[in-house]
């Protein structure tokens, strides 16, 4: 490349970068095509391509297959990452349900601006296609929903789920699958299958409060293991507890943990599978976010590397298709009879209508295309939230950078108190999730979870700006 051409592409790239920084181009905006840049700027096609490749390397934009280049913002400008967490080393009884109830009830008040969303906003889920599938199910399966269905779930749906397992490296049979009423029922049944009241369950720290509540309601103890916001749970410390026989089972979100967003690398997943086999400790693997990856390929699971069937895999369609259908599932052979018995005692089966609807949807829609669009949208929304946090929260704020899922974990400078911040935010009709809900040990009081589930708007921007002002006041 000659110096003149080099100067041209860098000069134009700098101009576009400036336009991104000053807001002329916002996150998610499509840039002019390479050919348009070639025509409008009077440069060659190769020089125009160099402009975008340079901006892509710097992290400002991203290419989408057959769609062009879109603004994504440079991640190196975001706040620093939080360090690995350091929870207490002893198991504790869980007692968070009262606080969870308070947060849930306040979030449901009229006029609230919510940063709590637990699933993608309905506007980015396939509502029209699901309505069509519902009509077809009503017309073609006129009486199929009337009798009790198979306790394990509708066989055509289990067949679809078995096929989808190829995406994470599985090769399961429909007979290995039990359909549940969402992932929480799945996790609860699995806990009852492998542990008793008083037993200790190893978990990530922090972790989803719904899983903590399941442990609480069953009278079990939680052992929080240090967790890195990028690579997940610390396997050395986990193995040490295996060796000392302190753990009855593990309950982990290995792909895009809620709330940290950590994703365990494949090498670590493989290592964990071997540890489970060696120490004969079962793992309940919650993979509800695995399909919501922002990388080119879906991450594997610990179940992918499970030779001894020590992993009880759980997931659902709540985060990818429709939370209101309440369809989840369990995959395991070793504990199948026990799981089936507990499923019967829990709910005696799963409703046929949502199962019939999902089968029609999966029969006629390409799930991969739907997920591709959903992932792109969620990625943009997460970047927009991250940029707002960088803009409005105080210096010293730490922020995770997940490569998937819908959660962002924010660590505020001490002595910030996010439970008090939650109380103050309610007076401004803003709801978020305080960090204390994600631990059994009453910690993470200077942390909060923000959701990237909803389309970014002026209202959400205002809410984050208002939170920033309240935090600044706390720190004065």
The predicted model scores a pTM of: 0.91
Per-residue pLDDT of 286-299, as tens digits, reads: 999 999 999 889 99
Q: Which residue has the higher pLDDT, 340 or 142?
A: 340
Helix, strand, coil in percent for the chain, rounding step 5: 45, 15, 40
Q: What percentage of the chain exceeds 90 in pLDDT?
A: 82
Which range has the worst mean pLDDT, 13-17, 49-53, 144-148? 144-148
Structural domains of the chain in order of their starting residue, each with its CATH number = 3-75 (1.10.10.10), 78-85+369-475 (3.90.1150.10), 127-364 (3.40.640.10)
363-372 LR contacts (CB < 8 Å, sep 24+):
364/129, 364/132, 364/133, 364/136, 365/126, 365/129, 365/133, 367/164, 370/126, 370/129, 370/320, 370/321, 371/291, 371/292, 371/320
Question: Taking the mean position of all CA atoms in its chain, how far away is CA 190?
Answer: 20
| CA distances (Å), origin 251, targets 84, 108, 379, 402, 439 | 19, 29, 26, 20, 14
Confidence of residue 2 (pLDDT cuts 50, 70, 90): very low
Q: Do 351 and 322 contact (CB within 8 A), yes or no?
A: no
pLDDT tens sequence across 326-348: 999 999 999 999 999 999 999 99
Tell me the per-residue pLDDT of 412-453, one tens digit each, with 9 for 90 and over.
Answer: 999 999 999 999 999 999 999 999 999 999 899 999 999 999
Q: Which token pair is 156?
A: 């055509």
Q: Above 60 in pLDDT, residue 44?
A: yes
Residue 54 pLDDT greater than 90, yes or no? no
């Amino acid at each position: 490349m000659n110096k003149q051409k080099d100067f041209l592409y860098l000069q134009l790239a700098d101009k576009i970068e400036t336009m991104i920084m000053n807001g002329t181009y916002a996150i998610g905006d499509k840039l002019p095509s390479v050919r348009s840049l070639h025509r409008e700027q009077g440069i060659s096609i190769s020089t125009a391509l160099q402009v975008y490749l340079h901006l892509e390397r710097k992290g400002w934009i991203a290419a989408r297959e057959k769609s062009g280049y879109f603004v994504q913002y440079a991640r190196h400008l975001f706040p620093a990452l939080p360090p690995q967490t350091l929870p207490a080393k002893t198991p504790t009884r869980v007692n968070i349900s009262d606080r969870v109830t308070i947060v849930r009830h306040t979030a449901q008040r009229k006029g609230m601006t919510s940063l709590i969303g637990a699933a993608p906003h309905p506007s980015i889920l396939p509502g029209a296609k699901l309505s069509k599938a519902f009509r077809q199910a009503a017309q073609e399966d006129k009486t199929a929903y009337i009798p009790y269905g198979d306790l394990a779930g509708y066989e055509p749906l289990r067949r679809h789920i078995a096929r989808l397992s190829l995406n994470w490296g599985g090769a399961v049979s429909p007979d290995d699958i039990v359909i549940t009423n969402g992932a929480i029922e799945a996790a609860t049944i699995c806990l009852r299958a492998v542990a008793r009241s008083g037993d200790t369950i190893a978990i990530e720290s922090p972790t989803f409060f719904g899983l903590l509540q399941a442990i609480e309601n069953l009278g079990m103890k939680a052992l929080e293991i240090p967790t890195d916001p990028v690579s997940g749970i610390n396997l050395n410390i986990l193995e040490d507890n295996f060796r000392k026989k302190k753990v009855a089972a593990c309950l982990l979100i290995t792909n895009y943990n809620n709330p940290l967003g950590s994703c365990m690398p494949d090498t670590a997943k493989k290592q964990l599978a071997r540890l489970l086999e060696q120490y004969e400790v079962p793992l309940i693997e919650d993979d509800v976010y695995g399909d919501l990856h922002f990388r080119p390929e879906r991450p594997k699971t610990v179940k992918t590397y499970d030779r001894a069937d020590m992993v009880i895999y759980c997931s659902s369609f709540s985060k990818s298709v429709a939370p209101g259908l309440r369809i989840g599932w369990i995959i395991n052979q070793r504990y199948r009879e026990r799981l089936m018995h507990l499923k019967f005692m829990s709910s005696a089966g799963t409703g046929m209508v949502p199962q019939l609807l999902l089968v029609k949807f999966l029969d006629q829609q390409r799930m991969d295309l739907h997920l591709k669009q959903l992932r792109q949208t969620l990625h943009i929304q997460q970047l927009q939230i991250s940029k707002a946090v960088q803009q409005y929260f105080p210096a010293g704020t730490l922020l995770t950078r997940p490569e998937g899922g819908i959660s962002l974990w924010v660590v505020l400078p001490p002595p910030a108190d996010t439970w008090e911040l939650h109380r103050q935010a309610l007076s401004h009709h803003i709801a978020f999730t305080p960090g204390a809900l994600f631990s059994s040990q009453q910690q993470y009081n200077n942390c909060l979870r923000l959701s990237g589930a909803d389309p970014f708007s002026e209202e959400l921007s205002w809410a984050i700006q208002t939170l920033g002002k309240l935090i600044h006041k706390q720190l004065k």
